[in-house]
Amino acid sequence: MIFGIVILFLAVLGCAAYLVAIKPRTRGKPEYAGHVGDVLYAHRGLHDNETDAPENTMRAFEKAVEAGYGIELDVQLTKDKVPVIFHDFTLQRMCNVAGKVIDYTYDELQEFAICGTDQRIPKFEDFLNMVAGRVPLVVELKVEYKDLSVCPLADALLRNYSGKYCIESFNPLAVKWYRDHNPEVVRGQLADAFMKGTEYRGALYFALHHLLFNFMTKPDFVAYNCLFPGTVSRRICRKLYKNTAVAWTVKSQKQLDDLQDKFDVFIFDSFVPVAKSSTNVI
């Protein structure tokens, strides 16, 4: 009898600890950019790596702006600490060059063509000047391990930006940086169902999969791989805590239509949606 009571107590305690761990920000939220207009976000710009507008290039961003889509983009630092827009930490896939972005200065990076086009890795500052507030932005901070240098440098540029934007990162340390240093900015935790695959294993990825760092980062939204809408922690955040649910990355019109009741905001890639006004602004 006593053993059963102890087990029940531990189970209740465990459930309570879990709900505390995944709890996002529920009070003192900044005003969101939206719910005043509807927008879909073009993943890395309105791009096609087989054309003259590859991902995360100025041409792809200009196309997204012209079409009225919000933009999702990736920011990291060069060797000389210039915030630039590029997704991979390594240059091989997009530029056919060895090494990482951080291994080169900004000027050196300008020697490398993106997907064989005339497009080059853009400065984050130049991108902000080009968009000039015309569409909302989802800025992903690329933080490898514990180097948070990109956070204050990107934040300095964004503090002078008058357009609507939010930040997100897979790395909870980057999201926490914003909680500590600029809590008025809408922040999001990027996540994936890491434990469903074989590439990412261990306690860290278990915690990331199940959003167990939310107690530390207190995100205003969770951006989750849209292939796994049934992830329990994600659903609890949305249903119990009324946390905004962002879907990445939607790859077809059918997928977009099927996910309408499971997510609130959508980031799309590889197709042009039938209608760009079908969801909320973050």
The tally of domains found in the chain comes to 2
- pLDDT at residue 36 in the model: 35
Instruction: Give me the domain span that covers residue 239.
Output: 189-273
245 and 155 in one domain? no
Give the number of C-alpha atoms closer than 13 A to the C-alpha of residue 273, restricted to the C-beta side.
26
pLDDT in tens, 172-186: 999 999 999 999 999
Grade residue 218 by pLDDT with cuts at 50, 70 and 90: very high
Q: pLDDT grade, residue 247 (50/70/90)?
A: very high
Asked if pLDDT for residue 135 goes beyond 70, the answer is yes
Is residue 9 a part of any domain in this protein?
no
Asked, for residue 115, whether it belongs to a domain, the answer is yes
The domain boundary, picked from 147, 167, 185, lies at: 185
Would you say residue 21 lies in a domain? no
The span from the CA of 280 to the CA of 262, in Å, is 13
Whole-model pTM: value is: 0.93
Confidence band for 275, pLDDT divided at 50, 70 and 90: low
Average pLDDT over residues 271-282: 71
User: Is the pLDDT higher at 275 or at 252?
Assistant: 252
Residues 163 and 196 placed together within one structural domain of the fold: no
> In this structure, what CATH number is given to the domain that contains residue 128?
3.20.20.190
Which of 136, 164, 185 is where one domain is finished? 185
Considering the domain boundaries, does residue 18 fall inside one?
no
Greater confidence, 2 or 121?
121
pLDDT digits (tens, 9 = 90+) for 8-48: 666 678 799 999 999 999 998 887 644 434 799 999 999 99
C-beta of residue 107 within 8 angstroms of C-beta of residue 81: no
Same domain for 153 and 244, yes or no, is no
For residues 150 and 201, state if they share a domain. Answer: no
The reply to whether 211 and 170 lie within a common domain is no
Residue 247 lies in a domain: yes
Residues in Cβ contact with 50 at an 8 Å cutoff, skipping those fewer than 6 apart:
115
**pLDDT for residue 89 is more than 80:** yes
In a domain, 60, yes or no: yes
Are both 206 and 181 inside the same structural domain? no
249 upstream amide cis, omega within 30 of 0: yes
Q: CA angle 225-36-136, nearest 5°?
A: 55
Same domain flag for 145 and 60: yes
Q: Is residue 121 part of a domain?
A: yes
Cβ–Cβ contacts within 10 Å for residue 193, how many?
A: 19
Least confident span in 21-30, 100-109, 115-124, 210-219: 21-30
Q: Is the same domain home to 175 and 218?
A: no
Same domain, 43 and 181: yes
44: left (phi over 0), alpha (psi -120 to 50) or beta: left
Q: Are residues 136 and 74 in the same domain?
A: yes
Q: Where a domain ends, among 132, 155, 185? A: 185
pLDDT at 37: 45
C-beta separation of 268 from 250 below 8 A: yes
Residues 165 and 193 in one domain: no
Cα Rg for the chain, rounded, in angstroms?
19
Residue 248 phi, psi (nearest 5): -125, 150
- In whole angstroms, how far apart are CA 251 and each of 112, 158, 163, 281? 28, 29, 27, 19
The reply to whether 4 falls in a domain is no
Same domain, 119 and 208: no
